[in-house]
């Protein structure tokens, strides 16, 4: 295992399939790390072209959605402070059917270029959406091929109903209560996907409620052995 490094010069590589995958589970952790000096690269595999949400009332369609979601993703990254966004150009819903060698090669290229201390992705098999599971599987598969001493630490997001039963409780629990402004701005950037005002209700929620609902982010460290 590589040393996680001090936050001052920590390099974090985030690999997720959809614009908005960063918003609920990771945005606060990234904002906090960036405040502490980390450099973050976010590799987003698709543009979420097949998303069902088109705004309410719908303002997008299948044809306009990719361009809209690209702008939303860029806005979310600005809100979090992410310095480097890569859009890898895969198609939504197809990650599990992609040529595995080609997919792994893209991920391996990022690892070789960036030498991250930490990689954040989805936990394969415990991330509900087939694209999430396939992305996590590709990341884990590619990192496993590295010599153990060259492997970055891998923190995984998991939210399948049987996660705790199968994997135990998350070993990384981040309090991101001081970074809710960035996190809510990240969520709010994805206007076609989330009607933030609607679920927060007409009354502006109190700081305490927001902290309870959004103030903790959990990760499972992937064990390669």
Size of the site for another protein (CB under 8 A): 21
Determine the interface stretch with another protein among 5-13, 54-62, 105-113, 138-146 (rule: CB under 8 A): 54-62
Q: What is d(CA 164, CA 106) in angstroms, rounded to the nearest whole number? A: 31
- What sign does the CA torsion over 49, 50, 56, 61 have? positive
Residue 163: how many CA atoms within 13 Å on its side-chain side?
A: 20
Which member of 2, 78, 129, 151 binds another protein (CB under 8 A)? 129
Site track for another protein across 144-163, x = CB under 8 A: ----------------xx--
The answer to whether 223 contacts another protein (rule: CB under 8 A) is: no
Q: Which one of 48-56, 170-178, 182-190, 212-220 is the stretch in contact with another protein (CB under 8 A)?
A: 48-56
Peptide bond into 57 cis (omega under 30): yes
Q: Please tell me the distance from the alpha carbon of residue 189 to that of residue 207, in angstroms, as a whole number.
A: 20
| β-pairing verdict for 172-175 and 216-221 | antiparallel
125 binds another protein (CB under 8 A): no
Q: Applying CB under 8 A, which part among 9-17, 34-42, 61-69, 116-124 lies near another protein?
A: 61-69
53 belongs to the binding site for another protein (CB under 8 A): yes
Distance from the first to the final alpha carbon of the chain: 11
Shortest Å distance, C-beta 63 to another protein: 6
Region binding another protein by CB under 8 A among candidate stretches 4-12, 30-38, 49-57, 174-182: 49-57
Nearest-angstrom CA–CA distance, 136 and 130: 10
Does position 59 interact with another protein (CB under 8 A)? The reply is: yes
Closest CA to 121 of 137, 134, 136: 136
The residue from 4, 6, 36, 62 that contacts another protein (CB under 8 A) is 62
C-beta of 179 vs 194, nearer to another protein: 194
What would you report as the CA-atom Rg of the chain, rounded to the nearest whole angstrom?
A: 17
Query: How far is 212 from 216, CA to CA, in rounded Å?
Result: 8
Q: What is the nearest approach in angstroms of another protein to the Cβ of residue 59?
A: 7
HSE (CB half, 13 Å, CA atoms) of 13? 23
Q: What is the DSSP letter of 216?
A: E
Residue whose CB is less far from another protein, 123 or 179: 123
By CB under 8 A, tell whether 190 contacts another protein: no
For binding to another protein (CB under 8 A), which residues are involved?
Answer: 50-63, 93, 128-131, 160-161
């Amino acid at each position: 295992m590589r040393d996680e490094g001090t936050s001052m010069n920590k390099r974090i590589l985030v690999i997720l399939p959809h614009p908005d995958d960063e918003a609920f589970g990771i945005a606060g952790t990234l904002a906090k790390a960036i405040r502490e000096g980390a450099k973050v690269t976010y590799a987003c595999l698709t543009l979420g072209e097949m998303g069902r949400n088109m705004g309410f009332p719908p303002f997008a369609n299948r044809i306009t959605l990719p361009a809209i979601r690209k702008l939303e993703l860029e806005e979310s990254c600005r809100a979090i402070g992410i310095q480097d966004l890569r859009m890898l150009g895969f198609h939504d819903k197809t990650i599990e059917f992609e040529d595995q060698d080609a997919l792994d090669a893209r991920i391996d290229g990022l690892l070789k270029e960036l030498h991250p201390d930490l990689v954040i992705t989805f936990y394969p098999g415990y991330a509900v959406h087939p694209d999430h599971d396939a992305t996590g599987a590709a990341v884990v598969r590619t990192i496993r091929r590295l010599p153990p001493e060259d492997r970055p630490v891998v923190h995984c997001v998991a939210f399948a109903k049987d996660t705790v039963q199968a994997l135990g409780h998350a070993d990384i629990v981040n309090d991101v209560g001081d970074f809710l402004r960035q996190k809510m701005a990240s969520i709010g950037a994805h206007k076609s996907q989330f009607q933030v005002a609607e679920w927060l209700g007409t009354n502006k929620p109190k700081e305490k409620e927001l902290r309870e609902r959004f103030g903790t982010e959990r990760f499972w460290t992937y064990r390669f052995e």
